[in-house]
Structure 1
Amino acid sequence: MVNKMLLTALFSLSGEGIGLAQSNKTVEDINKVKCDTCYIYAETTMKSVDEAFVGAKSILEVKVADWVKAQGIKGVDICIAKAKEHLFEIQTRRGDYYRAFVYVNKKEIMPVDNKNEIVILDVKKQKTSKNTSNAIISEDDRVGIKPTVELTPDEKNMVSINRFADVEPYLSELKQTGKLESYGKYKTMPTTGLVYCLVYNQDGKVVAQLRRDGNTFFNLKTQATEMISDYKNCGAIWLRLK
């Protein structure tokens, strides 16, 4: 009986020791982040863990925006979106309250400059013939008429997206309605099948909504056939609908 009580006490003390060690390790990790100038962080303490993280993330967005503006960097919306994508979360307890700590590495929120994320292609100048006497001009070209392609309802919604900050809510809506099959960064875009691309510049403006079928990119807004290389120094998010 005595041995059983001793074993119970030992296991109990061992469990408390492990919990204390884990708690100390968490606090140590948080303090390391706070002391490292490579990170931007925020924290809140609430009775609900969900409310705590919502509050911490909201504060982090503000701090990211302030830091980006202080650096004179263009594309605040893009930086905030990237911060949401790359942030880390730590949860601890303070009595009956939950402490939410979120942080992000500054290098992860810089405007896209990675060749895997951005379309960086040299725009080749088209060769034009000096002799234009034999040029073939269609009737539509002569009268300035451009053929109109009827867009689907989903494509019409896509054309209305003008800011990078609107991309995430748009994708979330497609998920909720069951229309979104897959999406990702430009570097992961499938090489076959019908795919759409939302192209954005470093100011956070969506400059083109493209439909790619095969090797052809069709601009939904201008209804012109284009090349992805036309959008130098721009990023792109691809998506595929069901």
Structure 2
Amino acid sequence: MLCVLVPLVLFALTETSTSQSDLGIVPEYRLSDVVWGPSNEVANAIVDSSLFIKELQSRNLTESSYNRFIEHDVRYRRGISHILEARINNLQEADDVRSLLQDTLKHYKSRNQTSLASLTPPWLNYTLRCFESVVKEEPVYWLVALSARASLLNLLVEGRCRTDQVQQSSTFYKQWCDDNMVESQWIQRYNTTLVEHMAQINPFTAINIFREQMMNQKSFYKALDSDK
């Protein structure tokens, strides 16, 4: 069962049918558009309230802020990696969804070299419980959940990491941009694979999963500021 249920976005979904085949997305909308709509206010709240993102906006990211982000991001990736690794090994189908999940696992584990205390902070405990609920769904929904983090980072990178901006920025701002520019490639991969599996996706379920994961991103940035 999902951690949170949100209102349905009827403007982006068909309104008259109840069968799974009729719960499709209106042709002019992509799944990424549909799931982002109800989460847009959450993303805006993150951008508007986060002290860390305010440093990004000033292009003067400090070493301490950069290191806190790395530490929190490593914790997040490590926790999600443990869940993914256990569940991917049990998947029988050798398809593009499993392949992308395996690639995501490698990507998440690539920054897991930092030594961290074993205690899991409360914000991450809740995030991991929510992700555990997602992996009880079909694997295609795991990609929906993973795409929330990638979508938000892609938004931050696109708005703040253009070459002309980075050249006149702090060293750690440049490093953050270098670290996260790759997220634009990941969101493209998630979206491409999800489009190819539209027939398996209930938009209502996808909306709820994506929004809950975006709420968890809000907790991530709040914790980032609280530990300052």
Normalised by the shorter chain, which TM-score bucket? under 0.3
| Structure with greater contact order relative to length (CA < 8 Å, sep ≥ 6) | 2
Task: Give the TM-score, by structure 2 length.
Answer: 0.19
Q: Greater strand percent: which structure?
A: 1
Q: Greater helix percent: which structure?
A: 2
Computing the radius of gyration over CA atoms, which structure comes out larger, 1 or 2? 1
Task: Give the TM-score, by structure 1 length.
Answer: 0.18
